[in-house]
Amino acid sequence: MRASWEALHAGLVRSVRTLEADNQFHEARQHYPQLASFNDPGAVISHLTGDGGDRDAKDQLLATLVEMVQAGDAAELASSLLWLGLWPGLDAVFRRRLVSFSWDADELVSQLSAAFTQVIADLNLDTVCRVAASLVRSTERTLLEDRARAWRDVCRCEPLDERRHAEALNALSKALFGGGERDPRSLEAEVASLRRWLASVVGADGDLLLSVVVLDETQHEAAARVGLTYAATRKRLQRVLRRIRQEIADGLSHSDLQIRVCHPRVRFTGGTAE
């Protein structure tokens, strides 16, 4: 599933270890003071991905690499260093969004790469406060916008109110599975475990609920992916949600989770959950 993503990482690592990359780096050190304290590209990567170090200094280093890409100065090397320096954040984006691509890692890698490249080219360093956060978040936002645009073309539907939709899904996710942030490093195992439990309760419809409630796929996207009409998908989600609520209530009749899950504050109406 992750083979193409890991292959991309391996290729980037090889690209910064060549003699040509080393020569380009030493030449760039003469023109970009932020690189002067590093002996080779590997030292830059270690500094950016390490837990320690000054956050502002890391941001200035990332800004220098963006400047190099935009100016065309050792652009390929600088781009690879940006990729590898921000890999933990980009890897989290990959993990979160894989289900929206029907677990097609090759397609996700292609679109994520295009989004990241575009974000680097368009980034305005004069208006950015935190380069690292801006690059990763803008990449994910661009990825989602491109994906939503593609699905709208397929579904021939009007654009959704993304803010209202996100708030509704967040409320529904908390109602079903409780609050708190999920650790992206454990997302694959968590999804697999949850998928097995849902399958035991509602069968194949568990995937539909999982993708919409937990993994941010819209009901329009889910409908197009599984070959159903939007109306049929919405009704199926209503039915599945009722069964899940009842199952949890039966198993945890005296717990706080029962109170949270069975409360009728969350329901599917129209195009979103409310």
Q: Please check whether residues 7 and 136 belong to one and the same domain.
A: yes
Residues 93 and 172 in one domain: no
Q: Are residues 212 and 268 in the same domain?
A: yes
Q: Which of 151, 183, 206 is the last residue of a domain?
A: 151
Residue 39 has a pLDDT of 94
Residue located via tokens 């209503």: 238
Q: List phi, psi (to 5°) of 195.
A: -60, -40
Same domain, 19 and 95: yes
Q: Which residues of the chain have pLDDT under 70?
A: 1, 100-103, 148-194, 214-216, 245, 247-274
d(CA 8, CA 162): 31
pLDDT reported for residue 248: 61
Task: For the full predicted model, state whether its pTM sits above 0.75.
Answer: no
Residues 142 and 216 grouped into a single domain:
no
Structure tokens at 241: 């949600």
Distance of CA 186 to the CA centre of its chain: 14
* Number of domains into which the chain is organized: 2
pLDDT at 71: 94
Distances (CA, A) of 188 to 1, 92, 209, 260: 11, 11, 16, 25
Looking at the fold, whether 146 and 170 belong to one and the same domain comes out as: no
| Domain span including residue 263 | 158-273
168: which 2 tokens? 């509704």
Residue 114, pLDDT score = 93
Among 106, 128, 151, residue at a domain's last position:
151
| pLDDT at position 186 | 52
Question: What is the C-alpha separation between 226 and 235, in angstroms, rounded?
Answer: 14
Q: How far is CA 200 from the centre of its chain?
A: 28
In this structure, are 10 and 143 located in the same domain? yes
Shared-domain flag, residues 113 and 227: no
